[in-house]
Amino acid sequence: MSQPASPPPPPPQRNAARKPRFPGEEGVWMFVLGDLAVFGLFFATYLAYRAADPAGYGAASASLSVTAGAFNTLMLLTSSWLVALAVLAARGGAAGRARRLLYAAIGFGLAFAAGKISEYAAKAGDGVGVETHEFFMFYFVFTGIHFVHVSVGLILLTILAQTLRKRRALEAGQVRTLESAGLYWHMVDLLWIVLFALFYLVR
Amino acid sequence: MTAAVKLTLAWLALCLVTAASILLAGEPPAPGATQPASLGVAALGGAFAKAYLVMRFFMELGATPWPWRAAFAAWCVGLFVILSAMLLWPA
């Protein structure tokens, strides 16, 4: 008696093994996109005003230290990189390593903040303020708002690093929270990248 | 290639693009003169190239559903085009 033919195996699902896991909370992605949109308006507004006095804006921009701006950029890029590594470590269950990477990221973030305060102090010492020229009004307001974002991010990362200190094993929710905080911190980095180009390099 | 190695290479690329942007921007123009608009556009190009690297590798945009990828790509590309146009053809 012949055996009944076995049913053919189901076709492999094309993306079953590659289905991406959404990093972080969707609400944070929404916030990040909104913040990027607002800053996009800021950038366009700055260039619109700059068009009326390119030489004046160029002269004012030339008074900024590209070295200081480059230092700040390097600090934030490195901090962002360390946060991304911390998220990787957390996903692998290495709470201790994630915590150490977060502390290192916070250190670089603080270096950025110190660099920025130093720049502001130098400008104040030179008698340069928001009323010196329209360029400086934009510079202090936009980098100031960005500085607030940096401060909030540093507080978030510090709180997360402290919670990791109390755990040996990470829960899925904690990893997701860290991903969300990382997402916010990368947005802060993104914004500075464009601010550095607009204020320090576009003269 | 491990994920950590990819992240580190992305960081290196970000540092290199930053250095290249600074070198390309060159010295400030003489007082009263203006920087050629093309240099400004190049600086913006470097910035948005770095933005893409941050989105792709640090934020893991590739792991999000397509509407998010489209929205961030629109921000990156759209803003670069708009800001460049404002530099090249100021009103």
Higher pLDDT, A31 or B31: A31
Nearest to B89 by CA among A197, A56, A48: A48
In this structure, the number of other CB atoms found within 10 A of the CB of residue A32 comes to 22
C-alpha span between A88 and A82 (Å, rounded): 10
Nearest chain A alpha carbon to B33: A55
pLDDT value of residue A167:
62
Residues 6+ apart with CB under 8 A from A190: A36, B51, B54, B55
pLDDT value of residue A85:
98
Q: Predicted confidence band at B79 (pLDDT cuts at 50, 70, 90)?
A: very high
Q: Is the pLDDT of residue B2 over 80?
A: yes
Mean pLDDT of chain B: 93
Show residues of chain A in contact with B35, CB under 8 Å: 58, 202-203
Contacting A residues, span 20-79, partner chain B, CB-CB under 8 Å: 20-23, 29, 33, 36-37, 40, 43-44, 47-48, 50-51, 54-55, 58-59, 61-62, 66, 70, 73-74, 77-78
**Span B22-38, mean pLDDT?**
84
Least CB–CB distance from B75: residue in A20, A40, A50: A40
Is the Cβ of A12 closer than 8 Å to some Cβ of chain B?
no
C-alpha span between A116 and A122 (Å, rounded): 10
Query: What's the CA angle centered on A139, arms A102 and B44, to 5 degrees?
Result: 75
A77-123 pLDDT per residue, tens: 999 999 999 999 999 989 999 999 999 999 999 999 999 999 999 99
pTM over 0.80: yes
Give pLDDT < 50 ranges for chain A: 12-18
pLDDT value of residue A5:
61
In this structure, the number of other CB atoms found within 10 A of the CB of residue A132 comes to 16
Nearest to B59 by CA among A187, A69, A118: A187
Residues 6+ apart with CB under 8 A from A118: A68
